[in-house]
Amino acid sequence: MFQSMSRKGTCLDNSPMENFFSILKQEVYYGKIYQSQNELIEAIENYIYYYNHHRIKEKLNWKSPVEFRQFNQKTA
């Protein structure tokens, strides 16, 4: 896995995505051995679903991103 870059050598342009990518690597990739590329892809897809639907964040009032978005749509 490689760090993404927008402008040449500037990873700070997309800091929210870089933060997510860092968390993904820590929780899914490092220290694990995958038997195939498909197994790794499935693990990443499962983690993205978990991250969006179940992983709560303090910045979102202890809600998951999906819960926070749904709550804000109801109040708008």
- Output the pLDDT for position 16: 83
Tell the residue number behind the tokens 């197994």, with chain if given: 39
Q: Kindly calculate the radius of gyration of the chain based on its CA atoms and give it in whole angstroms.
A: 15
Q: What is the pLDDT of residues 28-72, one digit of tens each?
A: 999 999 999 999 999 999 999 999 999 999 999 999 999 999 999
- Output the pLDDT for position 10: 67
Residues ≥6 apart with Cβ < 8 Å to 12: 18
Q: What is the pTM of this model?
A: 0.73
For the chain, the residue count is 76
Q: Is 4 exposed, middle or buried (0-12, 13-18, 19+ CB in 10 A)?
A: exposed
pLDDT band of residue 18 (cuts 50, 70, 90) is confident
Question: What are the extents of the domains in the chain?
Answer: 16-75
